[in-house]
Structure 1
């Protein structure tokens, strides 16, 4: 390659233009995306590095018939990225500060594979190098700093069919298979995948899989906002009164079951009995009192205890203090004398204030699909058992990856489920860090990966998303200090909470066809490389723009294939349609549907 055939014709602080003097001598030395080096004047060890973004044709033929026509020349537009200093076998690359000294040197050359590799490995120690992709222009492996990639939140975005799920699987498979020595068994990675479509069980056959049938969540760890979101209807005109009663009853029930604790409030993460809470609310709704003595409650007996129209247990006019009344109401659903006689009046909430509220509560407690949240196991499970099931320690079945299949979770409790699990894991990291001495680092750092994150942390102020947004936003802002980081995966990044997305320091941006998503990603990326982001709508499946603090140079890469693959491959419609008619076992489908 004759470097004298290239002439620098324009220089700015961030780019240069290079003219090919004689196109007939040009033999395809460069391509779009190629990296080139330009030596400093009188310095054969220091080079300015740039990447060819595009080229234009410079036609100098003036169209005059008397003038001999000339062949058009080409001008390469090069974006400058930094400087490379080569000292023997060692190379040092510096981003920025890449001004070209005057006069510019025309000794332009294509970077060798060794030189290009040295740029990507600059300041990344060998034990920190994490590989999952290659450059699209050649087969050069692109390392990222594994520490900076995982200890600073990352995002993987791309439209349907861009290879997003395969990328997620490859990144995580590479992480759980990485070891720093020759030991056998699992490494110390702990990854929790919130899988909305059940895609990743196939990619991680050894994973601990939780779903609506074997997941156990302690309802008593729901905070105040989550409890109200779960049981109250924001459109109900009696919402305020219902909230007040709910707060009082749950607080009193927590005091009953935690008598050894002094200060207890509505948000305290303490055990309580949801059935007792329901009993009490039912009794408050239906109670009657002696109009001449308001502390005499007209109790007949337990609900359903009548025989032949007569009570089997008579407690006419029981005199109870407010505290005794609540404690008795916890015991069971009671039957009260009707408010027909002159001396018996209805209770405070007999006007229907609590009717819809109690009906909603009853429906949720009887819903078999919510057994994971309100079943007996949920009432009795300890905090330790809860955490163990999420980080792979449950029942001595150790696993690096825990997949929480959200597909069978009813949509009305999806946000609350994600919120509660996220808060539990954040609290685990927070309190674990309290046990560490000064300077000691987290021993079990966690990665929480949210597939299709726009579904439960959208850019919306609706109440049904509030709990999950608050929980995940808190992790985004504070989690790194306690060894809890996020992986945000979405096909609609423009619909994700900006607070969460803007906290990500590393991005794998795959093909995005929606202009709104393209602009949103371009605006939030921490650093861009000229017009490189303009390629987002034209990327092939598996190609991605890799940007962030973990990589030396923002690069266009091809993600390595994962093995095994997730269950997200396209269905071969036409091939299947050409096959012989297949009968469907509807009974099996309906049996699964009704679970």
Structure 2
């Protein structure tokens, strides 16, 4: 390459403009995103490194008919990224364009693959290098710092069809296959994928798969807000009365099943029986009383004369049900004498305050699609068994990856399901850290990856999203201290909670076609690539901007193919439509629908 063919015409603190004087003599291929080096004057080992941001065409033809036309020249706009010092002891790359010599030397050339490789491995130890992509310009594998990628939250964003699922699969496949040494069996990676569409079972055939049919989620670990969100109707005018009754009954049931615990509250994460709670609510709703003795309840199998003690009222005037009566009502659903005679009248809640509440609770605990939450297994499962199923320590069937298929989870409980699992794993990490001694580090760091995160942690204040947002935002802010990090995956980043997204330190930004998403991502990126960020809507499938603390230089990369692939291939509509008419087994579909 003839360096005299290049002329530096402008220098600033962040960029250099270079004119290619005679393009006809220029044989090498420059691309947007290509890296170039400019040697320091009188220093043969030090170079200014830049990336081609854009270029302009300069017309040098004067338009004189009597002279030969001259071809145009090109002006390259180069964004400065740092300096490269090549010594016998090794290559050292420093970020930033500080110390540019004036005037700079004109000995401009493309970086060789070896020089590029040395830049990207600067300050990354061999055992920390993690590779899943190549530069789009020279097909050179780009290592990143695996520790800084996984111990900080990261985000993978891209529109449908951009290769987002394949990127997730490739990153995780590389992580679970990495080993220090030649041991056999699993490495110590622990990854939980919240899979909304069931895409990743195919990509990880050895993963532990949890879904609505085999998941056991203990309802008794729901906190107060989640229980009320699950069981109460926020639009019901009697919501306050229902909340008061629910809190009282569940608290008493927790005391019944945990007699050794002195202080029991509505929020206490201890066992209670949802069926007994329903029995009590049903009895309170249907009970009748002796009109002449309001403290006597007319139960048929009690000879119509059960004394449960006087009810009292709180400061708001609401009836407080005596503990003894509640304890009796836990046992079963009683039959009461009808309130037709003058000696028998309706009970405390005769105004229908509890009618819809009791009906709603009955529908939920009897709903076959909610048995993973309200079934017997969920009532009896221990905290230890719950945690083991989520990090695949169950019955000797260890696995690096647990996939929680949320596809069969009813949408009305999706947020609460994600919230509860996230809180359990956070608490596991928190209390695990408490038993670590001195400077001992976490032995089982967890990665929680949320596919299509905008569905359950949106930028919304609606009550139905409150649980999952609070749980995941807490992990985003505090999780790293306890060995819990987040992977946020979404095709609509502008709809994700800013609290969560702003905590991400590494980004894999793929093609984004929505202007709001493009602007949102550009605003949050910790680094910028100048005009290269304008390429977000035109990136090819599998291409991405890789940016963040884990990579030496923000780069335009091509993600390596994954194997096996996730189940996210597009359906060939037109090809299938051209085939002969196919019959549909509607009965089989409906049977699956009714499960």
Q: Which bracket does the TM-score occupy, shorter chain normalised?
A: over 0.9
Equivalent-residue separation in structure 2 for 1:187 and 1:448 (angstroms): 17
Q: 1:159 to 1:328 in 2, by over 3 A?
A: same
Equivalent-residue separation in structure 1 for 2:89 and 2:582 (angstroms): 65
Equivalent-residue separation in structure 2 for 1:29 and 1:532 (angstroms): 18
The farther-off stretch of 53-62 and 403-412 is: 53-62
Name 1:147's counterpart in structure 2.
147
SS of 1:170's equivalent in the other structure is helix
The farther-off stretch of 70-79 and 399-408 is: 70-79
Instruction: State the shift of 1:529 in Å.
Output: 1.5
Q: Deviations over 1:279-322 (max 9, x none)?
A: 11111122223344432222223xxxxxxxxxxx5242434462
Instruction: State the shift of 1:89 in Å.
Output: 5.1
Name 1:318's counterpart in structure 2.
307
Name 2:132's counterpart in structure 1.
132
Q: Deviations over 1:85-114 (max 9, x none)?
A: 111251111111434221221111111111
What is the root-mean-square deviation in Å for CA atoms of aligned residues? 1.4
Name 1:532's counterpart in structure 2.
532
Listed as ranges, the matches of 1:403-422 within 5 Å are: 403-422=403-422
1:433 aligns with 2:422: no
1:464 aligns with 2:467: no
Name 1:578's counterpart in structure 2.
578
Name 1:548's counterpart in structure 2.
548
Name 1:480's counterpart in structure 2.
480
SS of 1:561's equivalent in the other structure is coil
1:517 aligns with 2:517: yes
Q: Deviations over 1:61-87 (max 9, x none)?
A: 333445654322111110000111111
The farther-off stretch of 583-592 and 138-147 is: 583-592
Q: Is the 8 A contact 2:308 2:324 kept in 1?
A: no
1:8 aligns with 2:18: no
Name 2:375's counterpart in structure 1.
375
Q: Is the 8 A contact 2:304 2:337 kept in 1?
A: no
SS of 2:395's equivalent in the other structure is helix
Name 1:111's counterpart in structure 2.
111
Name 2:260's counterpart in structure 1.
260
Q: TM-score, normalising length from structure 1?
A: 0.96
The farther-off stretch of 352-361 and 25-34 is: 25-34
SS of 2:458's equivalent in the other structure is coil
Q: Is the 8 A contact 1:170 1:563 kept in 2?
A: yes
Name 1:94's counterpart in structure 2.
94
Instruction: State the shift of 1:577 in Å.
Output: 2.7
Name 1:82's counterpart in structure 2.
82
1:491 aligns with 2:491: yes
Equivalent-residue separation in structure 2 for 1:379 and 1:169 (angstroms): 35
Equivalent-residue separation in structure 1 for 2:399 and 2:309 (angstroms): 54
The farther-off stretch of 316-325 and 238-247 is: 316-325
Equivalent-residue separation in structure 1 for 2:540 and 2:296 (angstroms): 77
The farther-off stretch of 282-291 and 358-367 is: 282-291
Equivalent-residue separation in structure 1 for 2:92 and 2:308 (angstroms): 86
Equivalent-residue separation in structure 1 for 2:98 and 2:110 (angstroms): 17
SS of 2:299's equivalent in the other structure is strand
Equivalent-residue separation in structure 1 for 2:308 and 2:283 (angstroms): 16
Instruction: State the shift of 1:53 in Å.
Output: 1.4
Name 1:224's counterpart in structure 2.
224
1:195 aligns with 2:195: yes
SS of 1:282's equivalent in the other structure is helix
Name 2:352's counterpart in structure 1.
352
Instruction: State the shift of 1:330 in Å.
Output: 0.8
Name 1:304's counterpart in structure 2.
none
Equivalent-residue separation in structure 1 for 2:390 and 2:463 (angstroms): 26
Q: Is the 8 A contact 2:54 2:531 kept in 1?
A: no
Q: Is the 8 A contact 1:298 1:318 kept in 2?
A: no
Gaps of 5+ in 2: 311-321
Instruction: Give the aligned length.
Output: 584
Equivalent-residue separation in structure 2 for 1:319 and 1:211 (angstroms): 44
The farther-off stretch of 128-137 and 579-588 is: 579-588
SS of 1:398's equivalent in the other structure is coil
Q: Is the 8 A contact 1:419 1:471 kept in 2?
A: yes
Instruction: State the shift of 1:137 in Å.
Output: 0.4
Equivalent-residue separation in structure 1 for 2:542 and 2:22 (angstroms): 38
Q: Is the 8 A contact 2:39 2:108 kept in 1?
A: yes
Equivalent-residue separation in structure 2 for 1:206 and 1:33 (angstroms): 39
Equivalent-residue separation in structure 2 for 1:161 and 1:91 (angstroms): 39
Name 1:306's counterpart in structure 2.
none
Name 2:313's counterpart in structure 1.
none
Name 1:299's counterpart in structure 2.
299
Q: Is the 8 A contact 1:48 1:98 kept in 2?
A: no
Equivalent-residue separation in structure 2 for 1:590 and 1:262 (angstroms): 50
Name 1:160's counterpart in structure 2.
160
